[in-house]
Chains A and B, each alone.
Chain A
Amino acid sequence: MLLQQLVNGLTLGAVYTLIALSFSLVMGILGVLNLAIAELFMLGAYFGFTAIIAQLPLPVALAAAMLGSALVAVVIQKVAYEPLRNAPIVTPMLSTLGFSIILQNVATNVWGSDPLQLTDEVLPGRLTLGPVSISTMQLLVMGSTVTLVAILAFVVQKTPAGRALRAVAENRDVARLLGVSAARVTLLAFVLSGVMAGAAGVLIGMHYAVITPYMGVDIGLKAIAVMVIGGTTRIWGALVAGPLIGIAEVMTVAYGGSQVRDFVVYGLMILILLLRPQGILGGSRSEQGQRV
């Protein structure tokens, strides 16, 4: 059912948007691909699940996920990024990969490598609007995404911290001359990216009701594609690309077979890189410098 697939696609897209934003924040401002974001996503799910299993209310679970992942993100920033700030991009990227290996191992040891399942549905109930049926959980995912994105937009556009973020994204040296603390901005970027990834993790975890320590791997790569397609130069590109790719994926699986799904998504990514590197929302090509 086309409309139903659209809803499913939007749900998936919402998660992609959050993770893509997470990648984009660090990449747009620091030029680094943080490969551990997939694990921040995974840990968010685990932190949230731990809260839910302890019978804590839903908002607490969400908060635990976001805070927990943000904290881990800070550790990654201090250990994997900061000391390697001036090295060629490969190095901090591989360093975050080291973290990704560590975090996966930690999760496996703490929670076991078997899938962790929730016994009860977190938010039971469905809403039927004509031919379409949306679960309350799906509404929560989409609603939370919209809220988080709105908050992020506010922070980035309207607060002094956000202005500092954009300044560093545009020109790090000039920003520093103007008194912006690059160190604090970097920290903020990592914290925000942790919050986004953690939220995405707990939301999708609750939606599927089952998680594993390896859930971040594939979705992380996909989110990179989403970031590229939306435009690495404009973090809001993820808002458009997320739902777009989510829907495209769901449609491809429904009508073309699950095997071609990845081919289509990554093919699109490469086409964008070659033909319109600034992404869908990236503005003119000459605006390559503007990141946030």
Chain B
Amino acid sequence: MRISTTAIESFRLWSDPEQEWMDEADLIATIRGTSVPSHGVLLGSAFGKVLEAPDTYAVPGGFRCQDFAFGSDVVTPCLEVIDRRGVFEAKAQKTYGDCDVVARADHLLGLHLSEFKTTLSTFDAQKYLDSCQWRFYFDIFEPLIVTYHVFCLSEATNGVISLRGIESFNLYPYAELHEDCRDLVARFAAYARLRGLDAYLQQRQKDAA
């Protein structure tokens, strides 16, 4: 099976017995890659593209990508936390049993991996600390530090986007990290088989080979 870290993180969130906001149909759509991205996801994706290649999206007074416009006052402070020597959107994969887990790093510089997030909500460090995403980054890319840069944005009703702040923090590997990743992949694989998603994920593996 070929699985993305995004699908595994969705599975982890859905598996939390206390969560009520995610339906199983949403999870299955994410696994199949058919989910309709939310407004926040689209905004984050557009903002990420601007951070990666600001010159491509520069317009007078700011930046425009897809349906979103970002002022220079929003983008410039965010660009300042990114070392332009780094490599953007590098991909890697690792095999866990019969599953290939694929990951894409927003930014890699030496042994330092950075992940860029945008949020329109209040910054909640715990949400990122609990995530399995950074654990898989450590296991797959083998950096020594993962830094989350969370760009806290707000969007007015007229669509004007402003920057509320940038929250950055470092994470490090730990002793049982690989086992945690391996166990989560095993739980995901068991779930995929139970729901008959394995054939689809196996085909993806064949296509990628």
Q: Do A and B come from one complex?
A: no
Interface residues of B (CB under 8 A from A): none
Q: Which residues of A contact B (CB under 8 A)?
A: none
